[in-house]
Homo-oligomer: A and B are copies of this chain.
Amino acid sequence: MRLKKLEISERVVQRLTEYLSILKEARKQDSEINSIELAKIMNTTSAQVRKDLSTFGEFGVRGKGYDIDNLIEIITRILGIDKTNDVIIVGHGKMGEMLSSNLDVLGEGFKIIGIFDKDNDKIGKMAANNLVVQDIRNIGEFIKNMKNDSNIKINMAILAVVKEQAQIAAEGLVKNGISAILNMTTCKLELDKNVKVVDMDISAKLQELNFWRINNTENNIDEKI
């Protein structure tokens, strides 16, 4: 696979995950797809589909379209989920529990290798995946041992603590070498710029939805005093 050196926008990466999901669905029916069909499902233009994909290389066949299996493989590789990526979950409340026990929710390509909490009532308890909830205070040691014993370098975490603890917990993670955080809390994390944070704020999304629900008369907010 040939990858171009290029500035890649967040938008393109977001759509890449959508293409992957659509292609996995489409593969049940067909073995090929073209940019027009893909665009229709994506609610966009075929030009955008082709441009997005061409960011990463030439994957199509002129006159025919794209081989679905091939495209799935390529996008899978671009997103780095052709291998298994190790993740730790921090916080074992309702959210952390759901994430660790619902196998489907993280999707393929990710493996939970540690679950942490600061609550003594939870530490030591058996969680899903044959994992025991560990003391968050031992996270540095855990990461170090993983590196030494198995040569596994952990740098990705899912943050699922209560929002009051989010900032301080995140800082602790960063101190211990975590550089990628999926933030499931409502807290806006303020961390070093080279730490990549992706926010997953359910309440914010619900607020968005509610805005559009209220202002759904196509076009939209009336002038009112």
Decide if A202 touches B106 in the complex (CB within 8 Å): yes
Decide if B95 touches A180 in the complex (CB within 8 Å): no
Segment of A14-22, A29-37, A113-121 in the binding face:
A14-22
C-alpha gap A207/B83 in the complex (Å): 12
Partner of A216, one of B10, B179, B207: B179
C-alpha gap A13/B210 in the complex (Å): 10
Number of chain copies forming the complex: 2
C-alpha gap A6/B221 in the complex (Å): 7
Complex interface bits, A116-147 against B, C-beta within 8 A gives 1, otherwise 0: 00000000000000000000000000000000
Residues of B within 8 A of A222 (CB): 3, 5
Decide if B7 touches A219 in the complex (CB within 8 Å): yes
Decide if B80 touches A214 in the complex (CB within 8 Å): yes
Answer yes or no: A62 CB below 8 A from chain B CBs: no
Decide if B180 touches A225 in the complex (CB within 8 Å): no
How close is A165's CB to chain B, nearest CB, in angstroms? 12
Answer yes or no: A64 CB below 8 A from chain B CBs: no
Residues of B within 8 A of A168 (CB): none
Query: A3's closest neighbor in chain B, by CB?
Result: B221
Answer yes or no: A204 CB below 8 A from chain B CBs: yes
Decide if A211 touches B156 in the complex (CB within 8 Å): no
A8, A107, A181 — which one has the most chain B CB atoms within 10 A of its CB?
A: A107
Residues of B within 8 A of A109 (CB): 207, 210
Answer yes or no: A194 CB below 8 A from chain B CBs: yes
Decide if A203 touches B107 in the complex (CB within 8 Å): yes
Answer yes or no: A182 CB below 8 A from chain B CBs: yes
Partner of A98, one of B4, B95, B220: B95
Residues of B within 8 A of A107 (CB): 186, 202-204, 206-207
